[in-house]
Amino acid sequence: MFKKIFFVTALLLASLLSAKPVVIASIAPVGYLAKAVGGDKIEVQSLAKGDVHSYEPKPNDMKAVAKASLFIAAGLEFEEAWIPRFKASAKNLVVVQSDAKIAKLKEEHSGHADHDEEHGEHEAKDDKHSGHSGHAAKDKHADHKVKDDKHSGHAEHAKHDEKHEAHEEHDEEHEAHADPHVWLNPMLAITMARNISDALIAMDKANKDFYLKNFQKLMNDLLAFDESAKNELAGLKNRKFVVYHPAWGYFAEHYDLEQISIERNGKEPKIDEMASTVKMIKDENIKVIFADPNRSQKSAQVLASQTGAKVELLDPLGYNLLENLKIAVRAIKDANSPK
Q: Residue 84 has what pLDDT?
A: 95
Q: Which amino acid is located at 45 in the chain?
A: Q
Helix axis angle, 28-38 to 186-203, nearest 10°: 60
Q: Which amino acid is located at 193 in the chain?
A: A
DSSP state of 154: S
DSSP SS3 for 305 = helix
Q: Residue 272 has what pLDDT?
A: 87
* 172-212 pLDDT tens trace: 443 447 899 999 999 999 999 999 999 999 999 999 999 99
Containing 202, the helix (H) or strand (E) segment is helix 186-203
* 17-71 pLDDT tens trace: 448 999 999 999 999 999 999 999 999 999 998 778 778 999 999 999 999 999 9
Q: Residue 270 has what pLDDT?
A: 85
Q: Residue 228 has what pLDDT?
A: 98
Q: How far apart are CA 258 and CA 245, in angstroms?
A: 14
Helix axis angle, 208-233 to 321-336, nearest 10°: 0
Q: Residue 178 has what pLDDT?
A: 87
Q: How far apart are CA 57 and CA 52, in angstroms?
A: 10
Q: Residue 173 has what pLDDT?
A: 40
Q: How far apart are CA 184 and CA 5, in angstroms?
A: 53
Q: Residue 2 has what pLDDT?
A: 53
Full-prediction pTM beyond 0.85? no
| Residue 19 exposure: Cα atoms within 13 Å on the Cβ side | 12
Residue 258 phi, psi dihedral angles, 5° rounding? -125, 115
Consecutive sets of 10 residues in the chain, 339 residues long: mean pLDDT of each?
Answer: 52 52 97 98 93 86 94 95 92 95 77 37 38 39 36 41 43 59 98 98 97 98 98 94 94 97 81 90 94 90 94 96 98 90
Q: Residue 144 has what pLDDT?
A: 37
Q: Residue 266 has what pLDDT?
A: 73
